[in-house]
């Protein structure tokens, strides 16, 4: 009797009751226990406390790998490609990805693909992407666009880091989890999400390095279009029409898709959602003094301007830390511990250096024409990408190109990633309207949203949780 009841109520609980196994605490380093050597600490000249913090951060990052290191997961080994391989070619399909080591919302499914993209300077590069599948496709029976199949959204993630290991497709929660990809899939969209070239697949078949060109938005826009093209080839059930959407780094990438569409139109493109976009790195860094981005940008920038010397931006102590960051393939958490907002690592006026200004100029998709409608969502409490910089970019773009269809929606007090929660109804409705084929008037519009409970302080401000894989039957909350 007991047996039947427990089986009916909770499978995992039932098995633990039946077997009476001894429960264990789950360690926060339970799937990684990397420890530094003295040689590494001396070479980077870091204190014991910094070494400790970097080590903890690294083990958290590594514990969140769903399929181990990208160096060991054979999926990320690309076949040979060369200048005559067309961009958007499908190189590899993993139709079924075993999600038992991911922390997906229940009743979603995952596939992964390799495809060819084009880097900033026009070289063909292999890259990876995931496809997150809904349980059922959202239907648009009354659409004037004749949408058939699973409606597709090309998703551009925010900064995860710049090394191979920072690929969302091998991270348990796919990096942005409920902030966008899980939500989209639970609403019936298929999410096609490139890792951006250089993340995931970080070398060619011949072993040459593929460097992620961080914040070089036109390159990321290539990744979005070509990932979608290859995914549509791999999975004919995907709709021909698609939306591009991104946040932060990915917001800049999404904006760049809207501009690219005016230069190189792609059939099926319906518009873009740019969350907290960072179109011009220089202006954003000016507004935030964001030290953490210097190591990330420097690496990609040197693949575009090979004459760049790290000493242009970094103090000697900072230069010593860069090889350790590279050796560890450290992502956001490690980067933050190794390059804190502290003196002595990065030169005070580094943002005025020629290289950053030149890099921003060639990357910036704003102050340019776009094709199709674009929704910009922005929190006024954003400290990573301040609203003033985004509002300025939008206003200047609209003044220069009054026919651009840009809707700027700002949300009182909302912070960086959490604006996606505040704005969720707005962007989901906007995406639905595009698949319905609704027209958008020419020109720009602006709107300001206030919270229901009047006091912004009444609301939970930041993402104060993270997802952890449950490996024990008692881990249910």
Query: Which residues contact ligand NAG by CB under 6 A?
Result: 24-27, 30-31, 45, 68-71, 80, 82, 84-85, 98, 100-101, 120-121, 146, 148, 164-165, 202-203, 209, 304, 306, 309, 311, 329, 354, 357-358, 361-362, 388, 391-392, 395, 446
Which residues have C-beta within 8 Å of that of residue 148, sequence separation ≥ 6?
Answer: 239, 240
Min. distance of Cβ 2 from ligand NAG in angstroms?
27
Cβ atoms 170, 131 nearer than 8 A = no
- Residue count of the chain: 477
Min. distance of Cβ 214 from ligand NAG in angstroms?
14
CA triplet 370, 237, 223: central angle to 5 degrees?
40
CA distance 269 to 243: 6
Min. distance of Cβ 61 from ligand NAG in angstroms?
11
The two tokens of residue 377 are 């969502």
Q: Residue 75 or 155: which CB sits closer to ligand NAG?
A: 75
Q: Residue 24 or 107: which CB sits closer to ligand NAG?
A: 24
Cβ atoms 228, 239 nearer than 8 A = no
Cβ atoms 256, 397 nearer than 8 A = no
Pairing state between β 150-156 and 238-247: parallel
CA distance 298 to 379: 28
Q: Residue 394 or 431: which CB sits closer to ligand NAG?
A: 394
Min. distance of Cβ 460 from ligand NAG in angstroms?
28
Min. distance of Cβ 455 from ligand NAG in angstroms?
23
CA distance 406 to 404: 6
Q: Rounded to whole angstroms, what are the CA distances from 261 to 84, 115, 280? A: 23, 20, 19
Min. distance of Cβ 386 from ligand NAG in angstroms?
10
Min. distance of Cβ 71 from ligand NAG in angstroms?
4
Q: Taking every pair of C-alpha atoms in the chain, what is the biggest distance, in angstroms?
A: 76
**Among candidates 256, 257, 468, which has minimal Cα distance to 365?**
256
Q: Residue 155 or 314: which CB sits closer to ligand NAG?
A: 314
Q: Residue 80 or 461: which CB sits closer to ligand NAG?
A: 80
Q: Residue 369 or 428: which CB sits closer to ligand NAG?
A: 369
Report the DSSP beta bridge partners of residue 67: none
Q: Residue 52 or 98: which CB sits closer to ligand NAG?
A: 98
């Amino acid at each position: 009797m007991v047996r039947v009841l427990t089986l009916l109520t909770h499978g995992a609980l039932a098995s633990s009751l039946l077997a009476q196994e001894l429960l264990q605490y789950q360690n926060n380093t339970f799937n990684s226990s990397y420890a530094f050597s003295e040689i590494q600490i001396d070479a980077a000249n870091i204190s014991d406390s910094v070494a400790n913090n970097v080590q903890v951060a690294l083990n958290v990052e590594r514990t969140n790998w769903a399929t181990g290191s990208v160096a060991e997961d054979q999926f990320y080994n690309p076949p040979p490609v060369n200048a005559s391989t067309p961009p958007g070619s499908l190189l590899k399909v993993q139709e079924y990805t075993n999600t038992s080591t991911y922390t997906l919302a229940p009743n979603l499914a995952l596939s992964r693909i390799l495809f060819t993209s084009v880097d900033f300077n026009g070289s063909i590069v292999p890259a990876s992407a995931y496809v997150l599948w809904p349980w059922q496709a959202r239907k648009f029976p009354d659409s004037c666009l004749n949408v058939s199949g699973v409606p597709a959204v090309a998703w551009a993630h925010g900064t995860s880091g710049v090394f191979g290991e920072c690929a969302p497709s091998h991270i348990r929660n796919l990096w942005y989890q409920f902030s966008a990809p899980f939500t989209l899939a639970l609403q019936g969209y298929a999410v096609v999400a490139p890792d951006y070239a250089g993340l995931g697949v970080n070398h060619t078949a011949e072993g040459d390095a593929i460097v992620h060109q961080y914040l070089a938005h036109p390159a990321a826009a290539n990744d979005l279009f070509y990932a979608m093209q290859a995914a549509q080839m791999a999975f004919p059930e995907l709709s021909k029409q698609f939306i591009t959407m991104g946040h932060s780094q990915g917001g800049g990438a999404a904006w760049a898709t809207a501009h690219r569409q005016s230069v190189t139109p792609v059939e099926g493109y319906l518009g873009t959602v740019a969350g907290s976009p960072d179109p011009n790195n220089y202006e954003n860094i000016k507004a935030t003094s964001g030290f953490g981005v210097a190591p990330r940008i420097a690496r990609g920038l040197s693949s575009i301007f090979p004459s760049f010397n790290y000493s242009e931006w970094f103090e000697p102590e900072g230069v010593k830390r860069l090889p350790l960051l590279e050796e560890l393939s450290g992502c956001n958490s490690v980067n933050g511990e190794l390059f804190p907002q502290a003196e002595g690592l990065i030169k005070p006026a580094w943002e005025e250096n020629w290289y950053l200004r030149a890099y921003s100029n060639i990357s910036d998709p704003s102050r340019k024409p776009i094709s199709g409608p674009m929704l910009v969502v922005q929190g006024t409490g954003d400290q990573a990408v301040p609203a003033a910089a985004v509002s300025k970019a939008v206003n200047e773009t609209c003044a220069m190109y009054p026919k651009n269809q840009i809707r700027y929606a700002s949300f009182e007090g909302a912070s960086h990633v959490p604006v996606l929660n505040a704005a969720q109804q707005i962007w989901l409705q906007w995406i639905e309207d595009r698949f319905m084929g609704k027209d958008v008037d020419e020109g720009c519009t602006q709107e300001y949203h206030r919270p229901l409970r009047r006091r912004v302080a009444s609301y939970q401000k930041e993402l104060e949780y993270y997802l952890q894989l449950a490996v024990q039957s008692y881990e249910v909350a």
